Amino acid sequence: MSESSVAPSGVGPDDRGAAPQVVSAASSDGGLAEPLNVAAWLPRRAADAPHALAVAVATRSGYDVLTAAELDARCDRVARGLAAAGMGRGTRAVVMVTPSLDFFAVTFALFKLGAVLVMVDPGMGVSNLKRCLAEAEPEAFIGIPKAHVARCLLGWGKDSLSVLVTVGRKLGWGGTTLSALERAVPTGGSGAVGAAPVVEPEQDETAAILFTSGSTGVPKGVVYPHRVFAAQVRSLRDSFGIEPGEIDLATFPLFALFGPALGMASVVPFMDASRPGRADPARLVAALNDFSCTSMFASPALVERLSRHCSEREIELPSLRRAISAGAPANGPALERFSGCLGEGVQIWTPYGATEAMPVSSIGSDEILGETLSATEAGAGVCVGLPVAGIELAVIALSDEPIARWHDAQVLPTGKIGEIVVKGPVVTASYWHRDEHTALAKMIDDDGVVRHRMGDVGWLDERGRLWMCGRKNHRVVCSFGTLFTVPCEAIFNTHPAVFRTALVGVEQGGDVLPVLCVELEQGASSQPDKQALIAELLAAGAAHEHTRAIETVLFHPGFPVDVRHNAKIFREKLALWAAKKIG
């Protein structure tokens, strides 16, 4: 059985008789012969601009720095050392290394070897970590001492690991250290290490297994073939006009790896990458200014923090040509504050995508603030823009069942809410050892190409723009109808005392009760009359048809959020909390 809904009344078209809508953007490869292996960009950059900055990592006292030539040479040395330790093409290697020069060297060395990079979020929880690593069946473990201690104590990968490499000081857990491997690599008469050959992979050869954060369910290993990484590099470059020689402030480790492949220097600020919402904004500003960064990638939580800091102090960031924020729906007030700190014509881009397919679409802050934000605040959902080059977008009727073939899906017309489906070169085809989840998320087109069900709900407008309305499994299905999180929460998020809200469903009396969980703005938690605030929120909800049925409001001291972006709300945990509060 499938279901579909119309965009909230008054904010989107109700085109019930319209034909199914599929929106696509033309692909452009520029006619360039580009490598499949992203590591092949390193020697190219080293040859073109050997003395250009490649990586700078902030420390307590300054920066650790490598030029393009130095990074390539370091990767060669590490690749030869890892090969001597028994690693090579197809070796599955877990990497648990903090953002550092070692992190860049190890990761690109693995790509040069053709090994399979396995990455997990340490903050996903002990049980999830153990499950993910057991599924990946890694043959090598490269980690800092803390990671090895956890591996030993918790038994990670004990049945599959044969190569252990410690980045830092090794204690009694066996294996070797990265520095020892590098020292053992023979050098030529000049003391230089010979260039390590870069594996030329097959199109669908696995480059990495990247685990999802688990913020919306069980963490799953997304299988990344080399062609998808190469397509992402091309898409990011073309979508945002990134040019060689730029300098990027990279606050998310995985995105930082795209820097060298894009010809950009990656500047990693002094911060805990697992908690971007707690980053010291003064350190971020310092890093931006120290290197005159032209680009920045940051989660919405970090943009929120940085925008407040800069706007309150009237700090301008003149070197930035663009900012990119992804991982959760954009925060309108934060975008407005941060835009005021940027130069004329500089935008904050908010691409939409997921680990399984990224980027899918994109929209700039000019369009958001000048046009779509007002509709978002009225409950239309968050506009995430037009599809990027090469992507085809469609919305299908909601279903929680597998759909094997694309022609079996019911494609919806303009204005109707359903599940978002994407097709294109950045779309991955499967999850590692999770056939059931692959069947739920993938469908095969008539031409044999995989389409991905994003697990998000949304609708397409008459201009082909996508409006995101939340996660499919977060919808609240009541006896009177279905409520979607993003359109409903937007109505209440505009209240000045509210930082954010989360709609959850609580089973009660054979039905589902919609409950609004509220996190107050800092300083507002001491507000003396919460009953008055509840009355104001309910009045706001009563003014809109799609929020009229929400009559229960609970205040939460601080929502549980994901580690990766500090922005995705763990609604399942909130629902359990709400059920206990209601009794």
User: What digits encode the pLDDT tens for the residues 532-563?
Assistant: 999 999 999 999 999 999 999 999 999 988 76
Distance between CA atoms of residues 440 and 152, nearest Å? 35
| Predicted pLDDT of residue 275 | 78
Q: What is the mean pLDDT of residues 481-486?
A: 96
| Predicted pLDDT of residue 307 | 95
- Considering only residues 564 and 94, tell me which one the structure prediction assigns the higher pLDDT: 94
Distance between CA atoms of residues 469 and 334, nearest Å? 19
Q: What is the mean pLDDT of residues 236-242?
A: 95
Q: Which two tokens stand for residue 43?
A: 């020697």
| Predicted pLDDT of residue 522 | 78
Q: What is the mean pLDDT of residues 456-464?
A: 97
Tens of pLDDT along 399-441?
A: 999 999 999 999 999 999 999 999 999 999 999 999 999 999 9
Amino acid residing at 351 = P
Q: Please state the φ and ψ torsions of residue 303, each to the nearest 5 degrees.
A: -60, -40
How many CB atoms are closer than 10 A to CB 312? 10
**How is 167-231 classified by DSSP, letter by letter?**
SS---SS-SEEHHHHHHTS---TTSPPPPPPPP---TTSEEEEEE---TTSS--EEEEEHHHHHH
SS percent in the chain: helix, strand, coil, step 5: 35, 25, 40
Distance between CA atoms of residues 211 and 140, nearest Å? 17
Q: Which two tokens stand for residue 361?
A: 């679409």
Q: Which domains does the chain have, with CATH numbers?
A: 5-23+231-471 (3.40.50.12780), 65-200 (3.40.50.980), 475-582 (3.30.300.30)
For a pLDDT cut of 90, what percent of the chain falls above it? 78
Minimal CA–CA distance to 306: which of 340, 264, 267?
A: 340
**How is 45-110 classified by DSSP, letter by letter?**
HHHH-TTSEEEEEE-SSSEEEEEHHHHHHHHHHHHHHHHHTT--TT-EEEEE--SSHHHHHHHHHH
Q: Which residue has the tokens 């590591």?
A: 39
pTM for the predicted model, two decimal places: 0.92
| Predicted pLDDT of residue 125 | 76
1-5 long-range contacts, CB within 8 A, separation 24+: 1/399, 2/396, 2/397, 2/398, 2/399, 2/410, 3/397, 3/398, 3/399, 3/482, 4/397, 4/398, 4/410, 4/412, 4/416, 4/417, 4/418, 5/398, 5/416, 5/417, 5/418, 5/481, 5/482, 5/484
Distance between CA atoms of residues 279 and 428, nearest Å? 32
Average pLDDT score, the chain: 91
Strands of 552-555's sheet, edge to edge?
498-508, 511-520, 552-555
| Predicted pLDDT of residue 16 | 46
Q: What is the mean pLDDT of residues 248-267?
A: 91
Minimal CA–CA distance to 497: which of 545, 543, 555, 542?
A: 555
Q: Which residues have a Cβ under 8 Å from the Cβ of 333 and sit 6 or more positions away? A: none
DSSP state letter for 19? P
Amino acid residing at 24 = S
User: Is the per-residue pLDDT at 273 higher than 90?
Assistant: no
| Predicted pLDDT of residue 32 | 46
Q: Which residues have a Cβ under 8 Å from the Cβ of 139 and sit 6 or more positions away? A: 87, 91, 92, 93, 160, 161, 162, 163
| Predicted pLDDT of residue 130 | 87
Lowest mean pLDDT: which of 52-61, 209-218, 366-375, 465-474?
209-218
Distance between CA atoms of residues 10 and 544, nearest Å? 9
Q: Which residues have a Cβ under 8 Å from the Cβ of 83 and sit 6 or more positions away? A: 113, 196
CB contact at 8 A, 315 and 285: yes
| Predicted pLDDT of residue 343 | 94
Distance between CA atoms of residues 104 and 98, nearest Å? 10
- Considering only residues 528 and 576, tell me which one the structure prediction assigns the higher pLDDT: 576
Distance between CA atoms of residues 220 and 124, nearest Å? 11
| Predicted pLDDT of residue 317 | 97
User: Is the per-residue pLDDT at 17 higher than 60?
Assistant: no
CB contact at 8 A, 443 and 54: no
Element (H, E) at 491: helix 485-493
Tens of pLDDT along 90-141?
A: 999 999 999 999 999 999 999 999 999 999 887 677 888 888 999 999 999 9
CB contact at 8 A, 18 and 414: yes
Per DSSP, the three-state class of 277 is helix
User: Is the per-residue pLDDT at 81 higher than 90?
Assistant: yes
User: Is the per-residue pLDDT at 515 higher than 60?
Assistant: yes
Tens of pLDDT along 192-232?
A: 677 889 999 999 999 999 998 776 678 899 999 999 999 99
Confidence band (pLDDT; 50, 70, 90) for 565? low
| Predicted pLDDT of residue 437 | 96
